[in-house]
Amino acid sequence: MVQKSRNTNQKVGLLFGSFNPVHIGHLIVAGYMREFTDLDKVWFVVSPHNPLKEKATLLGDHHRLMLVKTAIEDDPSFKALDIEFKMPKPSYTIDTLTYLSEEYPDYEFVLIAGTDVLPTFHKWKNYKVLLDEYQIYIYNRTGSNSGKYSNHPAIKYFNAPIMEISSSFIRRAIADGKDVRYMLPNTVWTYIREMHFYEKVQDKL
């Protein structure tokens, strides 16, 4: 466990994702990182539509943002951000980090990611700058390994609980009429049911 810093600057972890939908796995990772590292807060950065993902299965940006907000509304150390909705597309992690660092100069930002990002990390925009200027807190993902970044000083590894759950699994399950309420925060499950999300493929959401 990493001890909390006594520095007056707050340390904020950024968890990026489409959150389509946000589920308990996301919250468990966020909660672990807040409690078992030196992070003071965790912010959920909701990503806009990724051109590599099928549009038909992706809820509208505002709906996914609302799902995250309802999931974390009772925890003041969590926050949902729509900053990438307003940035040039496609959005890049380094640009978002740079913007937030300028917007919140009293905060120190850390990227939270799973081991699954590491094999292709060298393809990220300005990845060397990211490693030079920011820390990356990595949590385990099934079937992934740290590779050449196992000893990089900017990267720290944490044994967060491994969750065999994904947003795509939840979407398929709901489309098949399955009850997956226990894989989601209650407020998220209620919102999805009331709006009939994921019950069938929709072209416009």
Omega before residue 48 within 30° of 0, cis: no
Q: What pLDDT, on a 0 to 100 scale, did the predictor assign at position 201?
A: 53
pLDDT of residue 169: 96
pLDDT at res. 163? 83
Total number of domains in the chain = 1
- Supply the CATH number for residue 178's domain: 3.40.50.620
* Per-residue model confidence (pLDDT) at position 202: 47
3-state DSSP assignment of residue 139: strand
16 within domain boundaries:
yes
Q: Do the domain assignments include residue 90?
A: yes
Q: Is the pLDDT of residue 200 over 80?
A: no
Containing structural domain, residue 170? 10-195
Q: Which of 113, 114, 111 is closest to 94 using CA atoms? A: 111
Percent of the chain whose predicted confidence (pLDDT) is above 70: 87
**Three-state secondary structure call for residue 111:** strand
172 belongs to a structural domain: yes
| Residue 50 pLDDT | 62
157-181: pLDDT as tens digits? 999 998 889 999 999 999 999 999 9
Mean pLDDT, residues 83-99: 93
* Confidence grade of residue 183 (pLDDT, cut at 50, 70, 90): very high
pLDDT of residue 91: 87
For the ranges 29-33, 68-72, 86-90, which has the lowest average pLDDT?
86-90
| Measured distance CA(149)–CA(134) in Å, rounded | 14
Predicted confidence (pLDDT) per residue in 107-162, tens digit: 999 999 999 899 899 999 999 999 999 999 999 876 556 567 778 999 999 999 98
The 8-class DSSP code of residue 15 comes to E
Q: Would 200 be classed as within a structural domain?
A: no
Identify whether the C-beta of residue 26 lies closer than 8 Å to the C-beta of residue 163. Answer: no
Q: Has residue 203 been placed in a domain?
A: no
Report field, pTM of the whole predicted structure over 0.95: no
Q: Which amino acid is at 192?
A: I
Residue 48 inside a domain? The answer is: yes
pLDDT per residue as tens digits for the range 54-81: 666 789 999 999 999 999 999 999 999 9
